[in-house]
């Protein structure tokens, strides 16, 4: 028997046989997913992975319009719809406009990935009110507001799943990232609060990537990034596909909610009390 909010055609079920590879390929056929910040980098990889499972994608972007159009073209080449939609997620009115637009474009929303984020670095004593508010507005308030609007759409469509993307700063106090780390730690707690309160129709999970993509300007094949991998217990940095696989797993396993899944080569083991 499947639970409320069933939508992944091949999700493991207590009364169904193993899915075929065709089922797996079309797990999300006919469904719509919103991936925030999906014009480029990790968000783009997540959007393409969900599209490869049959989902149509709302390619949300902030300022990367050209990249968003290219991502949408790549998604359409997979045979599903892609709608680039701009919104400054720091502005609640833009979030309202984004969801109003999704309601016009799609018959429903089944998957939300809260991926968009800043990565601001400032010494603790130099973080002023404006900078604190900017970071928390994007990394914490926006996911909260998106969850509220998405939940209404998901409940109307029979259920859905939300995946929040945090990082290790949620658990480790990185110097010069006090506002960022606080926002990501709160995103983890928001995941649990939402999972508890929005069940059973909506599941909410969190992926915590480790070192996957270097910041812009740093080469993936260079010395700096290789040395970054040396301090990871599994001895290397991660690949985008390892994060996208975790997103699909949490999206499609219908008995998991409130989970916080590190995809970090074991780096969370260095701060064992923080492991969830
Ligand atoms: N890269 C890694 O190795 C890594 C590791 C751990 C966790 N993560 C997490 O994974 C997610 C993606 O990482 P990433 O490195 O790919 O992220 P990123 O490139 O730093 O940013 C992702 C997107 O956020 C969007 N964004 C920024 N400000 C915005 C605003 N005000 N309104 C709307 N959108 C805005 C940007 O869209 P536009 O370009 O359109 O403006 C950008 O493409 C983040 O949540 C990050 O914390 C990444």
Task: Tell me if 116 CB under 6 Å of ligand 1.
Answer: yes
Mean pLDDT (whole number) for 270-275:
57
Please report which confidence band the pLDDT of residue 26 belongs to, taking 50, 70 and 90 as the band edges: confident
Q: State the pLDDT at residue 20.
A: 46
Q: State the pLDDT at residue 4.
A: 56
Q: State the pLDDT at residue 274.
A: 46
Q: Where are the domains of the chain?
A: 32-269
Per the DSSP assignment, residues forming a β-bridge with 33 are 57, 111
Mean pLDDT (whole number) for 208-236:
96
Please report which confidence band the pLDDT of residue 10 belongs to, taking 50, 70 and 90 as the band edges: low
Please report which confidence band the pLDDT of residue 1 belongs to, taking 50, 70 and 90 as the band edges: very low
Q: State the pLDDT at residue 223.
A: 96
Number of Cβ atoms within 10 Å of the Cβ of 56: 23
Phi, psi of 64 (to 5 degrees): -90, 65
Q: How far is the CA of 117 from the centre of ligand 1 (A)?
A: 4
Q: How far is the CA of 38 from the centre of ligand 1 (A)?
A: 8
160-171 per-position pLDDT tens digit: 999 999 999 999
- Helix H or strand E segment including 22: helix 21-25
Which has more confidence, 5 or 50? 50
Please report which confidence band the pLDDT of residue 11 belongs to, taking 50, 70 and 90 as the band edges: low
Give the pTM. Answer: 0.94
Task: Tell me if 85 CB under 6 Å of ligand 1.
Answer: no
Task: Tell me if 205 CB under 6 Å of ligand 1.
Answer: no
Q: Whose CA is nearest to atom 42 of ligand 1?
A: 37
Please report which confidence band the pLDDT of residue 22 belongs to, taking 50, 70 and 90 as the band edges: very low
Mean pLDDT (whole number) for 110-138:
98
Q: How far is the CA of 43 from the centre of ligand 1 (A)?
A: 7
Q: How far is the CA of 21 from the centre of ligand 1 (A)?
A: 32
- CA gap 52, 275 in Å, rounded: 31
Task: Tell me if 90 CB under 6 Å of ligand 1.
Answer: yes
- CA gap 207, 237 in Å, rounded: 16
Say if residues 43 and 37 touch (Cβ distance below 8 Å): yes
Task: Tell me if 187 CB under 6 Å of ligand 1.
Answer: no
Please report which confidence band the pLDDT of residue 118 belongs to, taking 50, 70 and 90 as the band edges: very high
Task: Tell me if 115 CB under 6 Å of ligand 1.
Answer: yes
Say if residues 192 and 258 touch (Cβ distance below 8 Å): yes
Burial (CB count within 10 angstroms: exposed 0-12, middle 13-18, buried 19+), residue 221: exposed
Name the fold adopted by 32-269: Rossmann fold (3.40.50)
Q: State the pLDDT at residue 27.
A: 87
Say if residues 251 and 163 touch (Cβ distance below 8 Å): yes
């Amino acid at each position: 028997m499947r639970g409320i909010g069933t939508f992944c055609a091949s999700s493991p079920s207590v009364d169904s046989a193993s899915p075929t590879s065709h089922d797996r390929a079309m797990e999300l056929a006919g469904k719509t997913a919103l991936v925030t910040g999906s014009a480029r980098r990790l968000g783009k990889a997540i959007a393409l992975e969900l599209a490869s499972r049959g989902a149509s994608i709302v390619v949300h972007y902030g300022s990367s319009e050209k990249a968003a159009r290219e991502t949408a073209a790549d998604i359409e080449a997979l045979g599903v719809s892609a709608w680039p939609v701009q919104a400054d997620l720091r502005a609640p009115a833009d979030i309202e406009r984004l969801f109003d637009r999704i309601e016009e474009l799609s018959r429903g929303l089944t998957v939300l990935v809260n991926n968009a984020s800043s990565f601001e670095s400032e010494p603790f004593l130099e973080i002023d009110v404006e900078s604190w508010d900017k970071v928390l507005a994007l990394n914490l308030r926006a996911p909260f507001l998106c969850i509220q609007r998405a939940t209404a759409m998901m409940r109307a469509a029979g259920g859905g799943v939300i995946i929040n993307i945090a990082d290790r700063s949620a658990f480790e106090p990185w110097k010069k990232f006090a506002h960022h780390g606080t926002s990501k730690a709160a995103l983890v707690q928001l995941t649990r609060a939402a999972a508890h309160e929005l069940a059973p129709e909506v599941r909410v999970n969190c992926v915590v990537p480790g070192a996957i993509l270097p910041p812009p300007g740093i080469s993936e094949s260079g010395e700096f990034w290789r040395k970054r991998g040396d301090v990871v217990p599994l001895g290397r940095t991660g690949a985008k596909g390892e994060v996208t696989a975790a997103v699909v797993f949490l999206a499609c396993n219908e008995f998991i909610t409130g989970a916080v899944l590190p995809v970090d080569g074991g780096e969370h083991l260095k701060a064992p009390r923080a492991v969830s």
